[in-house]
A and B are shown apart, each in its own frame.
Chain A
Amino acid sequence: DADVTQTPRNRITKTGKRIMLECSQTKGHDRMYWYRQDPGLGLRLIYYSFDVKDINKGEISDGYSVSRQAQAKFSLSLESAIPNQTALYFCATSGGTGYWTEAFFGQGTRLTVV
């Protein structure tokens, strides 16, 4: 089983619909992240969380919200989906203390908003 699991893997939704992407991890990491990938733009940070009570906005948080339900679970919501939110979404985790730690990514959720 994957250490970082995202559901669903693919989703097509209509403009204006609310949608939730879920992420769970078995690595025991405190830190979790949501990134968005668009062709040629790399990965851009949407939200991040250092522990259950900590939520922070990333570079492109407008139109998104998150919930850290438990140490192992971090969900991303699009309250009212729009077509330019069509992208590949990745959840990632990192753990440990200190200056830097390695980020582990899920397999991604491909979201299409029509």
Chain B
Amino acid sequence: GQQLNQSPQSMFIQEGEDVSMNCTSSSIFNTWLWYKQEPGEGPVLLIALYKAGELTSNGRLTAQFGITRKDSFLNISASIPSDVGIYFCAGQPLNNAGNMLTFGGGTRLMVKP
């Protein structure tokens, strides 16, 4: 099946630092999504991207849909302790009529106060 390579796998940063993570694929995607999973909870959608080149912000979060349609990044500015969690990218591959998402392996973010 489709594969998304998400990096880094984990990050341990100081509160206040900026964070960047990304996803790449060898295939073209129609949609890129970024989810956050907190301990004991299911993933929650943060940002959805629908067009190549699209740059979207949600508070301190900014994500972009790569122009080649094969990658996306998520930036978090001025991190705070509640940013801790696992961040997943997900994409809907081209020619996927079933609304099925392919997920990356996740980036585990740890923030030191």
A contact set with B: CB distance below 8 Å: 4, 31, 33, 35, 40-45, 48, 50, 56, 58-59, 90, 92, 94, 99-103, 105-108
Contact = CB atoms under 8 A, between A and B. Distances in A.
Question: Which of A43, A45, A48 counts the most chain B CB atoms within 10 A?
Answer: A43
A33 B102 CA distance: 13
Interface string B81-113: 000000010101000001111011110000000
Contacts of A58: 100
B44 to A, nearest CB: 7
B14 to A, nearest CB: 25
Interface of B is mostly: loop
Nearest to A45: B100
Interface residues of B, number: 25
B79 interface: no
Interface hub of A4, A42, A56, A107 (most chain B Cβ within 10 A): A42
B60 to A, nearest CB: 21
B41 A99 contact: no
Nearest to B45: A102
Contacts of A106: 42
Interface of B: 1, 4, 6, 9, 30-31, 40-45, 48, 50, 88, 90, 92, 98-101, 103-106
A31 B90 CA distance: 17
A102 B32 CA distance: 11
A105 B99 contact: no
A105 B43 contact: yes
A92 B101 CA distance: 11
